[in-house]
Structure 1
Amino acid sequence: MQELELIAEADERGRNYLGGIEQRPPFPDQAARDGLVIFTEAFPDQGQGAAETLRMLDIYGSPATTASNGPRYFGFVIGAALPAAAAAERLMLAWDQCGSSYDNSPVAATIEKVAARWLLDILDLPRESAVGFGTSATACTLTCLSAARRSLLARLGWDFDRDGLIGAPEIKVVVSETVHITVRKALRLFGFGTARLILAPTDGHGRIDPDRLPNLDGRTILFLQAGEVNTGEFDPFVPLIEAARRANAWVHVDGAFGLWARASSRRAVTDGIEGADSWTTDGHKWLNTPYDGAVAICRDAEALAQTMNADAIYATASADAQKNLTLEFSRRARGIPIWAALRTLGREGVAALVDRHCDEAGWLADRLREGGLDVLNRVVLNQVLVRCGDDERTARIRSRVLDTGAGWFGNTVWQGRAAFRISLSSWRTEHEDVARMANALVAAARG
């Protein structure tokens, strides 16, 4: 099959998949999952052909997908890909650009610079900041953590690039008791042993308590959260960042989904966040872009550019080239779908998207309380944390609702006991989808 015919068939299969997305179960049934055994074949001696490979992928792969691109998926703060962002991704794949610098791709470098400027605008963060488009919140945390450690050591007179870590002054890390696992992973990979992390006590909502904040100094990186993963709560940024400023510590904010509250009527929960040194957020969560699109933002643009510099004798570029702001040298221009989403939605569209999900979360919480379920959080954002009596009953009710196909949501643990977490972030989700799941939960609880 010729290249263009193959691409056309892939597009047709993709259209058929999306055309039925609202009818797909949120999680594939057992028959579809069993069908995946076909992919476990031995490595073929002879090539099987592109058309046959595509057919196999669609016939056996499509039924076994989670419908996270659909309206009834309420797990893990996953947004469905906006049509504009998905279409931009498809065109970007056809371009097949290496988005490392202007020399490699003038269009990628130009659009990603615009996307960076727009992000600082809509999130109202310091306009002088550097913006790197990375693969994930984990990768972007690694990027910001690198700049933080290198900068703190430089203030102490230590040349990290030349001398590395052996013999260097110790850098301390203070994290919340409810710190996200991606932050823990990044810190572990960077050699900050889990036993050496300094835990900041939290209140009943999962926020760091400023009155019990551990001592900070000029050798400290303080991690704060914009959107605790279970409750959706925000650390009290004003007193915490003021304390860090007095100590000359570095402040990083993990805002994978919660940072987008700054673009909505819920902005007040982020007051003071602009005083931090670095921030991370995801595109695939509340901006509803395809996966592989996260953002690292660093107030000190020079610090990030020097830390991530990847200039070679055969490939030099400007300090703000993406290869000098992210972990990757060769990279896809993942800022393009983010640009497409922002341009299509505009300031009002982003605000409406975030506000709608927050409003629906509040409605859902009220409905579940009326139905006799225990809503454990204040629902300040888009997260609804639920328990139904003891651990066994909580698990049983969740399982019953998942069996109905009314929606998919995940297990969690809150304050040592089982719960489940319902997240609203998909542009496809309408009120009737939320109401259907609420009714199923209430019915299961009463049953």
Structure 2
Amino acid sequence: MDIDPDDHRAALARAQAHAVAWIESLPDRPVAPSQDVDAMTAAFGRPLPDGPTAAADVVDELATLAEPGLMAMPSGRFFGWVIGGTLPASMAADWLVSAWDQNAAMRYPTPATAAIEDVAGGWLLDVLGLPAGSDVGFTTGATMANWTGLAAARAAVLDAVGWDVNVAGLIGAPPVTVLVGAERHTSLDLALRYLGFGAPTLVDADDQGRILVPALRAHLESVEGPVIVCLQAGNLHSGAFDPMREAVAVAHDHGAWVHVDGAFGLWAAASPTLRPMLDGVETADSWATDAHKTLNVPYDCGLAIVARPSVTRAALGTQTAYLIRDPSDASEPFDLVPEMSRRARGVPVWAALRQLGRSGVVDLVERLVANAQALAAGLSRLPGVAVLNDVVFTQVCLTFGSDEHTRAVTQELIREGAVWMSGSHWQGRDVLRISVSNWSTDDDDVAFSIAAVERAMAAAT
């Protein structure tokens, strides 16, 4: 088929019109989708046409059919899980990434995207206060960012006892002990399973989910052989941070590699006000976070950061005749992540950081925290509402008396769909969990959301 610029022009114009209409609807539309997956399957489930369809018509059909099944996740009133919105510059940059259609695996054939990602990685290290020169890889999300950091950790701790996992594999290898806080995120467990570690050893945590350093020390003193310690920057429910400096020091005293799962909370390091809660985080060996959470870039974009570049390349790199390496022998993008083929995920990160600047990143993070604290304060004034966590970052967990009533209020809130907050179970209780992650959430959204919870309480009585 010949490339007709008019086909692209028409299709992209329709996509832009639908995208702008969607964005303009966000302030007023319900957050919940109006149709479920069965209705969506029925709408899309038509026989494949025998012949071609004009590209612009395909875009129109896609947008029109999908609209009732879309959740307004970019809305300032969406507080489910930990899902950010998308900054304007990063959204537009992501469109360019698709148009450029670069496989961002190697420096030599794609110098522009390689350079952009190098710069974005350097900016990230600077903003987060992590060691200059660390490797920064752009993964699909925090699960694979954790995988990347832990793959480097596996190679390093086994190499330290004379075992080359790349050559000998894991069968017969010295056993590696992996210590994690009892309230770690499940993505950490997944990454460990993918790497052949199985279930980790759990270390006791306090009532906010922070790992207890005396318990960590006791575990370290009781094990022999290679050890990996996983810490957490931002507890799933409380937002709390493990005591980094003390925990890292204890782990390093016992020869352990320290990996930090900071899916959303690592961004607190960018704020001078919040940074003390992460004191010592820069002394760890690897870190994982999500740019599509707190930084608000489009899906998908995890960030895997490893302080020892040679370890990353040894663990993940490969060499074959058809892959053209950069003459400088620098690490190639495919040395830093699991994929050998991927889109240029770092370009929207560059655009977000370029749009915000250093002060904008600080303001973004601190506004998310201020909004979480305002929600907690307003909701705690409603009769029968109890906020269970210390609201130190972007997470709020609350109850409405009994577990049964908490579930009823949560279900009513979701049924109405004007805002979205998800249920969970924490510290032995059912909770309504609020994650403030969207750059566009403002005072009106906070007030509207408190009123929506109050309506749900009345309806659930």
- Tell whether 2:314 aligns with 1:306: yes
C-alpha distance in 2, partners of 1:200/1:319?
38
Structure 2 CA distance for partners of 1:30 and 1:90, relative to 1, 3 Å: closer
Give TM-score scaled by structure 2 length: 0.93
Q: Deviations over 1:111-155 (max 9, x none)?
A: 100001000000000112111111111111111111101111110
Partner of 2:338: 327
C-alpha distance in 2, partners of 1:270/1:387?
28
Partner of 2:263: 256
Partner of 1:283: 291
Given that 1:89 and 1:337 are in contact with CA atoms closer than 8 Å, whether structure 2 keeps it comes out as: yes
Q: Percent identity?
A: 41
Given that 1:311 and 1:324 are in contact with CA atoms closer than 8 Å, whether structure 2 keeps it comes out as: no
Deviation at 1:29, TM superposition (A): 1.7
| Matched ranges for 1:203-214 at <5 A | 203-213=206-216, 214=218
Structure 2 CA distance for partners of 1:428 and 1:441, relative to 1, 3 Å: same
1:237 to 241, 244, 259: 244
Partner of 1:38: 43
* Letter of the structure 1 residue corresponding to residue 349 of structure 2: I
| Matched ranges for 1:165-176 at <5 A | 165-176=170-181
Partner of 1:395: 407
2:99 to 72, 94, 103: 94
C-alpha distance in 2, partners of 1:138/1:158?
26
Given that 1:13 and 1:58 are in contact with CA atoms closer than 8 Å, whether structure 2 keeps it comes out as: yes
- Tell whether 2:381 aligns with 1:363: no
C-alpha distance in 2, partners of 1:204/1:35?
42
C-alpha distance in 2, partners of 1:39/1:319?
47
C-alpha distance in 2, partners of 1:33/1:374?
37
Given that 1:101 and 1:321 are in contact with CA atoms closer than 8 Å, whether structure 2 keeps it comes out as: yes
- Tell whether 2:24 aligns with 1:12: no
Q: Deviations over 1:147-190 (max 9, x none)?
A: 10111111001111111112111111111111111111111122
Deviation at 1:399, TM superposition (A): 2.3
C-alpha distance in 2, partners of 1:41/1:94?
28
- Tell whether 2:134 aligns with 1:129: yes
* Letter of the structure 2 residue corresponding to residue 350 of structure 1: V
Q: Deviations over 1:392-447 (max 9, x none)?
A: 11011122233444310111100222111111111111111011111222343355
* Letter of the structure 1 residue corresponding to residue 10 of structure 2: E
- Tell whether 2:72 aligns with 1:64: no
C-alpha distance in 2, partners of 1:369/1:21?
27
| Matched ranges for 1:133-212 at <5 A | 133-194=138-199, 197-212=200-215
1:374 to 361, 383, 386: 386
C-alpha distance in 1, partners of 2:167/2:36?
57
* Letter of the structure 2 residue corresponding to residue 81 of structure 1: T
- Tell whether 2:219 aligns with 1:215: yes
Residue 313 of structure 1 aligns to a residue in which SS? coil
* Letter of the structure 1 residue corresponding to residue 260 of structure 2: V
C-alpha distance in 1, partners of 2:171/2:44?
47
Structure 2: runs of 5 or more not aligned: 1-5
C-alpha distance in 1, partners of 2:195/2:37?
40
Give TM-score scaled by structure 1 length: 0.96
Deviates more, 1:214-223 or 1:376-385: 214-223
Deviation at 1:105, TM superposition (A): 0.8
CA RMSD of aligned residues (A): 1.7
- Tell whether 2:275 aligns with 1:267: yes
Given that 2:213 and 2:246 are in contact with CA atoms closer than 8 Å, whether structure 1 keeps it comes out as: yes
Residue 310 of structure 2 aligns to a residue in which SS? helix
Aligned residue pairs total: 445
Deviation at 1:361, TM superposition (A): 1.2
Residue 178 of structure 2 aligns to a residue in which SS? strand
Given that 1:218 and 1:247 are in contact with CA atoms closer than 8 Å, whether structure 2 keeps it comes out as: no
C-alpha distance in 1, partners of 2:35/2:290?
32
C-alpha distance in 1, partners of 2:146/2:52?
40
* Letter of the structure 1 residue corresponding to residue 219 of structure 2: N
C-alpha distance in 1, partners of 2:366/2:332?
34
Deviates more, 1:8-17 or 1:66-75: 8-17
Partner of 2:443: 431
Given that 2:263 and 2:290 are in contact with CA atoms closer than 8 Å, whether structure 1 keeps it comes out as: yes
Q: Deviations over 1:254-297 (max 9, x none)?
A: 00000000111211110011111000010011100001111000
1:51 to 44, 52, 56: 56
Given that 2:10 and 2:56 are in contact with CA atoms closer than 8 Å, whether structure 1 keeps it comes out as: no
Deviation at 1:35, TM superposition (A): 4.3
Residue 169 of structure 1 aligns to a residue in which SS? coil
C-alpha distance in 2, partners of 1:368/1:332?
42
C-alpha distance in 2, partners of 1:440/1:99?
44
Given that 1:308 and 1:325 are in contact with CA atoms closer than 8 Å, whether structure 2 keeps it comes out as: yes
Given that 1:225 and 1:235 are in contact with CA atoms closer than 8 Å, whether structure 2 keeps it comes out as: yes
C-alpha distance in 2, partners of 1:397/1:211?
39
Given that 2:141 and 2:302 are in contact with CA atoms closer than 8 Å, whether structure 1 keeps it comes out as: yes
C-alpha distance in 1, partners of 2:242/2:430?
23
Deviation at 1:241, TM superposition (A): 0.8
Deviation at 1:8, TM superposition (A): 1.8
Given that 2:353 and 2:361 are in contact with CA atoms closer than 8 Å, whether structure 1 keeps it comes out as: yes
